[in-house]
Amino acid sequence: MVLCGDPCVLEPPSPAKEIGAPDAIIADAVREQQSDPLKRFLKSIGTTLRILEEGTPWSNKAEVYIGLIKEAVRKDMAMSNCPLAFWDYCVERRARINNLTAKDRFQLHGQTARATVHGEAGDISNLWKFGWYEWCTFFEHSASFPAPKKQLGRILGPATGMGNEMCQWVLKVNGNVVPRRTVTPLTHDELHSPNDERRRRVFDQLIEKRFGKSVNASKDLQDSPTSAEIATEEEETWEPYTDEEEPAHEVHDMDDAVDARGLLINQQPEYD
């Protein structure tokens, strides 16, 4: 996995080494999926490349789940205000969740996709503890005195092939993505401390400066005035209406109309 060509991002091992080479790869009829480097790689691992007919993506059974994963990624990115540059980490995390979720499919026989391929249920410990782009703290052992070793970061999902199973990809304040095992969620005091809240705001500002806006923050939306600003502006510029012939007069508040029982007129339900 490479993030925008950034050399600071580490690249995990190929899935062909971890899971094994598939018998065939079914690809759409696009140039990037028929390139010579791809063909040479598939030939080196003993996999056949099958190209679908142009304009027939529905013939690939994986298209349905690809669409479901894409929709889940869009939702995660929008809810977390995560910069678009980290979409590939979100896709990898969602694919892992999909493989560890049992589905009502005849081919799976009530098992998860991982259990069907590997013969074991799989471990979800590295997924349930952290949400996508969740705040965390980790220990940076290379920090020199007097810099604190405990630093603030963002979770980008499990780091496959890096450290143990609980190792996570962590986004640092400088924008680098590193694998760390010493990650812990923020405590209740850290979430509500004014100093920690200020640190998190500075963290987001630095990440936004390097990687751009989040998925649901557009320039037009940020530049447009809010309802409170519009209301304040209207209050400041309001002038009483005056007529050329008759001066304006103020109408005082009037009591609501009630019936003989003291109830508001036309406010009772029809069944009363």
pLDDT tens per residue, range 32-55: 777 888 888 888 888 888 887 776
241: left (phi over 0), alpha (psi -120 to 50) or beta: beta
Q: Judging by DSSP bridges, how do beta strands 48-51 and 24-27 pair with one another?
A: parallel
Whole-number pLDDT of residue 55: 65
Higher pLDDT, 98 or 184: 184
* pLDDT band with cut points at 50, 70 and 90 for residue 198: very high
Token code pair at residue 234: 């209207």
- Residue 83 to residue 216: CA distance in whole angstroms: 9
**Cα dist. 14→1, 41, 115 in Å?**
9, 11, 20
- Residue 195 to residue 91: CA distance in whole angstroms: 33
One-letter identity of residue 220: D
Token code pair at residue 62: 């994986």
**Do the Cβ atoms of 256 and 264 come closer than 8 Å?**
yes
Whole-number pLDDT of residue 237: 55
**Do the Cβ atoms of 157 and 146 come closer than 8 Å?**
no
Only one residue has tokens 């496959």, namely 160
* pLDDT band with cut points at 50, 70 and 90 for residue 217: very low
Higher pLDDT, 20 or 2: 20
Asked if residue 77 has pLDDT above 60, the reply is yes
